Amino acid sequence: MLLKIMKVKGFEDLPTPRYMTSGSAGMDVYAAINEDYEIKPGERSLISTGIHMQIPEGFEAQIRPRSSLAINSGITLLNTPGTIDSDYRGEIKAIMINLAKEPFIIKRGDRIAQIVFSKVEIPSITIVQTIEATKRGSGGFGSTGK
């Protein structure tokens, strides 16, 4: 898979999204902001990453929270994982929320999220009158126990 990344003018100095270890599933993306930005407790904010991506057809990108921000600061992402479709060409942004009791400051170039790529299967759809029964049936939302 070849991923093409275009940086937003004014943020060319930020690191290119990258995998931090050889075993990482997600690559980190960075805050593309010009000055420190405060997210107050309970507040959500749309934070720019300073990049556009050309995701190959047949793939999607999922933007996900960074576990260290979640456990250490109470910062996570809404709409997680957020799907970035292969035909989207706009700037990648992260919907961040502060679940902590203290304000959180984001600085230019902070690692704010990670992106994981997945292959997408497009099914053929057939309308039918019945579907096969299973032992579970329509049980959901905890129906299999704790």
Residues of the chain with pLDDT under 50: none
Q: Encode pLDDT of 86-109 as tens digits.
A: 999 999 999 999 999 999 999 999
Instruction: Give me the domain span that covers residue 110.
Output: 4-119
Which CATH number covers residue 52? 2.70.40.10
Q: Which of 83, 94, 82 is nearest to 51 (CA)?
A: 94
Confirm whether 65 is domain-assigned: yes
What pLDDT is recorded for position 137? 85
Confirm whether 144 is domain-assigned: no
Number of domains comprising the chain:
1
Confirm whether 74 is domain-assigned: yes
Confirm whether 138 is domain-assigned: no
Confirm whether 53 is domain-assigned: yes
CA distance 15 to 30: 7
pTM of the model: 0.88
- Integer angstrom CA distances of residue 30 from 14, 16, 49, 85: 7, 8, 5, 20
Confirm whether 136 is domain-assigned: no
SS3 (DSSP) at 143? coil
What pLDDT is recorded for position 6? 98
Q: Which of 8, 11, 4, 15 is nearest to 61 (CA)?
A: 4
Six-digit token pair at 45?
A: 């904010």
Confirm whether 58 is domain-assigned: yes
